[in-house]
Structure 1
């Protein structure tokens, strides 16, 4: 509590123009406050929001391309390590100009989050005392907590930053994590420092591909940690560079560019190489008499000798989890729907899910099955993909020889397969009128009799139906039975289109974790994607991310990874769908997929899980 009261006394002195009490804040913060005072900044005022033109941002990004590539990978890792803390991770160049951000969606929408964007400047003259500005000046890791910030409006913010140094010890860039959650401050500060050190080591491997790189440390188990020294040497044993931990381990020795390996270690370069190139760990003494373990981590490009070395970073491969049932649900409307689903499952109420193609109707149905804790199977049927004469047999089963081409041993039907579980009727609007009566009778009695059979089976099935068509309009047109509709929609869940979801950034990040979990995607890229219409919803977004991953030339995705020509694309649809937004988007997806499959209606129907009749209706 003494620190808190001391900080408050210091704040009062700052805002009243008095002398700041000694030891109330750290010397680093006190000196920064005084510099801000000297600049005439008002701690109760509003900081200057300075953002350079985006053309200049591009130039700065190009000038720091290698740094940016390595940093974004580390930022992605940081994003997973401190997830849930309402935070933002930022990369800035040596001048304190922000180049990229990766953030928690809630923080990105805050007032501070909206000001930490590519091109924004975070020096003391613009933003007062803050971690980015201090690191750019002091060239050392800095944390600024809460009201240690000069401006009152930043008092709820905690910022932790570290410099990224090049092989000559010059500042290349700055890495910052800012959050409003103070629970993990010390932990986060350590992670930021580690990430900066990892980037520095990565720069050594990127910048010295033609040299041997040795790792060394007094303890063998530390050779793969950030505390290990890295030593880059040429083919004749001349030292090219030593990283910061290496300089500390070789303190008192002439560890500098141009010095020969033999001046640092008692073992001659040739003798050391004999052991190192075998892929093993050797023990040597430095010229100060300290023993260290050493291993070869890289053999220079073009060297005749080869051994087991650390592979150079490569682009992450795409991975797929086609059956993964989780999905993002932070949108307000979806949260309400999820709560209703849980209650509906407990009461065994039939649930109807309404939403456009690609909004996640089946995912929601599978979630209902999961929360119902039913022991039976989840059984799905695309009602539009079953020929009308076979619809009843598909659900209720059939006996041997019940109809032409019937299976010789009969079939139990999907309703019995779902006994004790969930029967999901997708595209329920496509159920033939003649079959709707039989389905209604089943829903009332939960009794199944196979086609051609006499025996009746009682089943316990949770019914979930889904469609992207308005069933009430179909009832008016006598295309759907009213009594069946009221039996199916005891509770109706409406899924919002992707372009209207408030949790769009989380959806993008979730899909990226499934497709390529090690690949970073920047906030600027997500903002660009959010401006598009997405007539195909999540399915279309997933495809766009896959295309960007396949085409990318770097190991991250930014706003330049996505094709501008797609953003303002005109929605293509047939004449009968022009006046209805829902139908227009659905029709556009069908026609687009039809062209992509080389005008193959059957393949289009299979990909979109529609009937060929539906496809033909929209492509005429």
Structure 2
């Protein structure tokens, strides 16, 4: 619509309220609303807030102003010779910022189109910023399309600015003399508003990423092309005691000398980060150890190296989790009916409260590791690792590396990243040294020093690491006697023997034989409900008379064996032959042989005289079963014929 035609349309509407079909729908709707609300089209009054209110408005919209400012400057550079005014408003129509040359700024004062003014449709009549904000649409209004006559000399192009959730948060407007009206002006404003929205989204994305990075337990460092610090998260500031301005000029290649920086620079070709399990970090004269992930980002602004550092404790926790270095038992898993054993358990509960070294002595199979795990679980270290080491199984030439760890390249065959030892893996937890009596004498002095100082130096390393480890040692030997024989160092013995726990053998706990046997049988009955068994009185008597050199472990295995091999629901003395080979001390000789012979005959009959099946039933080889038959004068062929 041309200016003259638009003027006639405006006059007609002001005269009788008649709208023209050529009008922009949004303008027509706004005019009707202004007329309804009795907006004076001949007034040039504009609401101007005082400075106190305006400062609050500016503070409320500081993020929009800060992000839009460089875009407004860029747009102005395009139109600065055209005598146009560029305006930023908030969602309520407050003019936040204006930029233009002196002539347009002076002219805008005539209609009070300046900072602190409020431009809404009901306040100053239908106008481009007001319609853009109210109807959420870009619009260009020329001359008489404005409701109030004072604005008829202007052309205004406005576009709304949307926030992250799509809501209108402001408006960008470009205004000038009506004679300079051009459709491209609206396109420029729309592009400018879109740029502000994009910058807002990027800014909030950056805030989210920084917030997320600052909330991580890992230290994050961003380095530039020259390996100098660009940014660090809060964890890095705290963990590394780094002050960004002071560290900004440091070449981080000297801080992290274990990193192959050449590989990092060429990383972009492979598109894969560099992982380092064990890396030294030199800061303020101290050495820290981390695992690291290093990646490279390349864009038009240059290269950015992202370094993520995880404390060695995180790696060690992962290793312990994968390796199963956790206690599985507590004092609830130790059951007994014996008074003496109950006292031992109570003493162990008391030891769990303290951090002193513990020496557990007891025969094989008495449950030394079970007690060690229970002490760990009952202590304040329960959340930490429980690392068990069988000293008897360690090869002599690997004992030191297994216990103390090693640096990369410490010896031929060493992992290139190095490897933490068992002491490091047990940090903040418990190290259980089983079969300590088998430790070679020449290594005991090194072990003593670590146990005493709780500081460990890896093979090939230069620094000692302070540890927080509780040491529990166990042996089936009499260590005091070993010391007298010169087979065990006395100083290590006394260092380990701060708290002592003697576990009595099963033969000294007759009440526990029946008690434990019933518990084991109950466990198997629950596992195999279709094969439930119970003990006869004579079988339990035989168990009690036996010496149990293998202690509870032997008892458990024996009950499991007899459970599987017994043919009757009632396990009787006839089944005792499945418990052990030598039963001379339990069953009288005149009845024992006949009882055992009848047991094997019954097994053969139940197997249809099939030797292979009978041998399988009692878990022995076929030749062994033939030897048993020969010992008891059993002829399988004869039994088979008798079954035919």
Same fold (TM over 0.5): no
Give me the TM-score of the superposition, normalised by structure 1.
0.38
Give me the TM-score of the superposition, normalised by structure 2.
0.37
The structure richer in helix per residue is 2
Larger RCO: 1 or 2 (CA < 8 Å, sep 6+):
1
